[in-house]
Chain A
Amino acid sequence: MKKFYYHFLEVYRHRFLIWHLVLRDIKARYRGSFLGFLWTFMNPLIQMAIYTLVFSFYLRINMEKYPAFLFCGLIPWAWVSSSAERGMHSIVHSGPLVTKAMLPPQVLPTTMNLSNFVNFLLTLPLLSLFLFLFKVYPNINLLFLPIVFFIQFVMLQGIALIVATSTVYFRDLLHVIPNLLLFLFFATPIIYPVSTVPEKFRIFVLLNPFSTLILSYQSSFFFSHFPSLSYLLYSGIWAVFLLLIGVYIFETFRDEIPELI
């Protein structure tokens, strides 16, 4: 219990530093130009173009406004994958900040996840524009989105802590995690609507906490109905669970972290 308390206390103590690092990270990302900002949007856009080509023309998923549907899943997924991938580098590549400057290492995954969150928020107006072009008009259900954001943030914070700590010990995770993410990407109904999954397999899709999360996004953005409460609850429980596991793993090994990087 004490462990958890101190973990969050240290994060709180360094809130100004974290905020400064987040701003710095975002500035670095958008430095110099509009183009910097464009890139965060370009990646999902290019992905969307590829999947639209493959699934609307080659494999033929029969769905109206398919590109808009895709986008509703790809944008939040971009946050998932970048928090996991940048998360695993966050401590390993922090260098002397941890080994010499007494920076508590949990600051780094937190900073990175926050910065990805801000980045995600910045892409939302563009997502809205895109939905608008496809004549998908969101309604009052958008008001529930902050809850979904919060769940996702907590979930990714846990994941970032887990991968950041474990890569300190097992450097070959740097090769394993991207593959795991690719698997998760296809196991999550992002490029296909969950209704196309045969009934008997659907349970496997829904057991994945990312599925329930992405489905919540899709229902508020695309289908304009209320996100299923049971889905939200399921993702929420996973989020808390992952965060606790993350803090536990991190705190158990934190004393050895400065010795290993």
Chain B
Amino acid sequence: MMEAVVFENVVKRFRKYFLKRQYTTLKSVFINFLLKRKEKTLSSYIYAINGLSFSVMKGETFGIIGRNGSGKSTILKLIAGIYRPDSGKISVNGRISALIELGAGFHPDFTGRENIIINGMIMGLSKNEIKNRFDDIVSFAEIGEFIDMPVRTYSSGMYMRLAFSIAVNVEPEIFLVDEVLAVGDEGFVKKCLSKMEGFKRAGKTIIFVSHDLSMVERFCSRVLWIENGKPVLMGEPSFVVNEYKKSFQG
């Protein structure tokens, strides 16, 4: 068996300063310079991922659980290549499609149609490949005439449906899903799950982040539990989920 994703001692940290203020200004830099005040916070960090190693085999359905802010989404963003690790090594084999933090990379002012094309192109599909899949994407998403309206006019459900539909229809080899099933109605969630079951059967790799523990237990072949960017436990789903549940009973 081959590895789809490998993490070796990965560290990802964020500057506290950025987290707090989002951005700095020339003005403040200038004033600090005049007053000879040092920006101490610039060199203090929060470690989102702190020495994490694991590997996911091809064809595996790998679950990641943990409390809010434990680093789950950061892991997905690292796999997707949106963030780069500060140290350690990440290797990924195969085309990724990702649904991170309830949504895809849509430009709010572009129509659904344009976003489909742009997202397809970012994932490396040619225009023809996108055309061939276009109808499938639209019919799966069930958004009807909204396809020609800017996505900022979409309801959160429609947004998520389109995002999911694009992500599954570009034929990824590695599929990253982050909590997307939380906003869909029951019918759509069912459809998504059956699509993901299909992926499993087709031997694709799925990396699944969720707070829905029963779904994780049912769906995954292996589960990683992380806390503060460090692994706590990894292994058989029912065992890891049980231990995780126990941690709440204190």
Contact = CB atoms under 8 A, between A and B. Distances in A.
Contact of B118 (A20, A100, A173): A20
Interface residues of B, number: 35
B101 A100 contact: yes
A101 interface: yes
B83 A259 contact: yes
Given A21-B118, A99-B82, A102-B81, A260 B107 contact: no
A29 B13 CA distance: 41
Given A20-B121, A102-B96, 14 more contacts: A14-B122, A16-B126, A16-B127, A17-B121, A21-B118, A24-B114, A97-B105, A98-B82, A99-B105, A101-B106, A101-B122, A102-B82, A170-B23, A259-B14
A101 B22 contact: no
B83 A100 contact: no
B118 A96 contact: no
Given A21-B118, A102-B81, A170-B29, A95 B108 contact: yes
Nearest to B80: A102
Contact of B103 (A17, A20, A96, A98): A96
Contact of A102 (B18, B24, B98): B98
A101 B127 contact: no
Interface residues of A, number: 28
Contacts, number: 83
Contacts of B121: 14, 16-17, 20
Contact of A172 (B25, B101, B107): B25
A194 interface: no
B105 A96 contact: yes
Interface string B127-142: 1000000000000000
Contacts of A163: none
Given A17-B121, A21-B118, A170-B29, A260 B14 contact: no
A260 B103 contact: no
**Top 10 closest A-B pairs, CB basis?**
A101-B105, A100-B105, A17-B121, A172-B25, A170-B26, A96-B105, A255-B84, A97-B105, A171-B23, A258-B82
Interface string A222-259: 00000000000000000000000000000000011011
